[in-house]
């Protein structure tokens, strides 16, 4: 019918899966480890969109070129400067963490990209990005972004206890892993608390920030919560195993999806990769960081991980190692099987 939105199609396999990240300050290594985890396990080609401070650009270029060609051929990368298309750039930069607000402008900057997965620098993929990319197919005709809840239990959730602004649902959503249909975002008029009619994404951002800036704590994530509070039909909510954070195990295990399926995407917020508060998270980060690219995944990644986890069983998150290992084990088996099949197939040709 005229004017009716078509059901979203996942981009064809010849196109790549777009992954965006924003890196400032001391986040170079963390970002590279995140990109490494994406390349290690994914099946289809990846397009990286790295938004970085000028001083980090040559470092990113140099480090990515050092990866072996068997991996560099699996992705292409674009590095962009930090830019804010509306409002005061200095003000946006100061919002929460340096340049985190950049993610709000992705639909405006990446005009030729249809769909995109945005992640924070402190994210690790424990299974192929292909699997979260498939969720684009699940969007109904009004949904244009997907995030996981900020918390599973309202009585210990941050938004439900402390927020002084509108937020999505009963616990708010966490924007550290965000799947976006940019085409839809660009063409939608959003309901808001500013004017009775709708506003485009770009028109809405700065006035919304001006209205709520004295009430927000988590910067751009709070703005996204405000937007989806007024437009709940636009959001697809995916389960906690796609954005698994220390909060899901440090108060006792409260992410059922991870218990059943294992962690799909690990989000080490609160700086847990770099201190000793959550050794299970740190162990995963260090094992992926230290994995030599061309080595055997089981020998040089899975087994070291198992032995490191033995040292963390006394901690709340360490009590449930299978939650962290389940997906990674499954993924490795698939990678191994695929390699064996490809190898056998290649030999049969001669």
CATH class of domain segment(s) 17-238: alpha beta
Query: From CA 43, how far away is CA 131, in angstroms rounded?
Result: 10
* pLDDT digits 0-9 by tens, 295-349: 888 899 999 999 999 999 999 999 989 999 999 999 888 877 877 776 666 555 4
Total-model pTM: 0.91
Q: What ranges do the domains of the chain cover? A: 17-238, 271-345
- pLDDT score for 345: 61
Q: Read off the pLDDT of residues 63-114 as tens digits, 9 standing for 90 and up.
A: 999 999 999 999 999 999 988 777 777 776 766 565 778 899 999 999 999 9
pLDDT tens-digit map of 204-225: 998 998 998 888 887 789 899 9
What letter does residue 81 receive in the DSSP assignment?
Answer: -
Please write down the long-range contacts of 84-93, taking CB distance under 8 Å and 24 or more positions apart: 85/109, 85/202, 86/202, 86/203, 86/205, 86/206, 87/205, 87/206, 87/209, 91/209, 92/209
Q: Can you give the pLDDT at residue 94?
A: 67
- State the number of CA atoms in the 13 A half-sphere of 1 facing the CB: 3
């Amino acid at each position: 019918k005229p004017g009716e939105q078509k059901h979203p199609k996942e981009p064809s396999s010849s196109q790549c899966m777009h992954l965006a990240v924003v890196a400032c300050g001391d986040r170079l290594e963390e970002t590279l480890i995140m990109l490494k985890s994406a390349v290690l396990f994914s099946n289809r080609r990846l397009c990286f969109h790295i938004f970085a401070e000028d001083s980090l650009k040559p470092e990113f270029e140099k480090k990515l070129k050092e990866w072996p060609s068997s991996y560099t051929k699996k992705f292409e990368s674009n590095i962009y400067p930090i830019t804010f298309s509306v409002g005061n750039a200095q003000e946006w930069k100061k919002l929460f963490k340096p340049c985190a607000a950049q993610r709000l402008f992705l639909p405006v900057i990446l005009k030729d990209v249809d769909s995109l997965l945005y992640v924070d620098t402190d994210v690790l993929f424990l299974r192929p990005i292909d699997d979260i990319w498939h969720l684009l197919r699940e969007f109904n005709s009004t949904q244009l972004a997907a995030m996981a809840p900020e918390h599973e239990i309202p009585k210990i959730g941050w938004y439900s206890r402390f927020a002084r602004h509108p937020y999505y649902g009963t616990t708010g959503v966490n924007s550290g892993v965000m799947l976006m249909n940019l085409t839809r975002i660009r063409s939608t008029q959003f309901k808001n608390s500013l004017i009775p009619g709708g506003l485009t994404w770009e028109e809405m951002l700065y006035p919304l920030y001006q209205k709520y800036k004295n009430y927000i704590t988590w910067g751009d994530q709070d703005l996204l919560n405000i937007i989806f509070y007024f437009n709940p039909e636009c959001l697809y909510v995916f389960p906690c195993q796609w954005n698994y954070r220390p909060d899901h195990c440090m108060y006792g295990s409260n992410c059922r999806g991870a218990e059943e399926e294992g962690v799909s995407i690990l989000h080490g917020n609160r700086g847990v990769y770099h201190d000793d508060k959550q050794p299970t998270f740190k162990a995963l980060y260090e094992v992926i960081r230290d994995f030599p690219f061309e080595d055997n995944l089981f020998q040089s990644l899975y087994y070291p991980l198992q032995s490191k986890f033995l040292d963390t069983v006394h901690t709340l998150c360490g009590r449930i190692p299978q939650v962290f290992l389940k997906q990674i084990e499954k993924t490795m088996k698939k990678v191994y099987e695929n390699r064996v099949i490809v190898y056998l197939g290649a030999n049969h040709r001669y």
